[in-house]
Amino acid sequence: MPKKSGTHHVVPNADGGWDVKKGGASRSSGHYDRKQDAVDAGRKISQNQGTEFYVHGKDGKIQNKDSHGNDPHPPKG
């Protein structure tokens, strides 16, 4: 049975910039001025921890999603 993985999110910060947050956490894993920097850092964290990775827009809606390690349909290799 695969282990239950968490999530990581790139979300806008109310004071400006972008945060990388683990799902359910109140503190961010990192703060970045540029969204692309936050996405790059968040993707690396998500890959290392095998979590789902969500990128949100300024409106808070999910714009993009990646699965790292908990794919229900992994490719046959």
H helix count then E strand count, the chain: 1, 5
39, part of any domain: yes
pLDDT tens by residue, 5-63: 699 999 999 999 999 999 999 999 999 999 999 999 999 999 999 999 999 999 999 99
pLDDT at 8: 97
pLDDT at 76: 60
41, part of any domain: yes
- 8 A C-beta contact, residue 65 and residue 8: no
12, part of any domain: yes
Instruction: Please give the tally of structural domains in the chain.
Output: 1
1, part of any domain: no
pLDDT at 1: 36
- 8 A C-beta contact, residue 55 and residue 62: yes
pLDDT at 35: 98
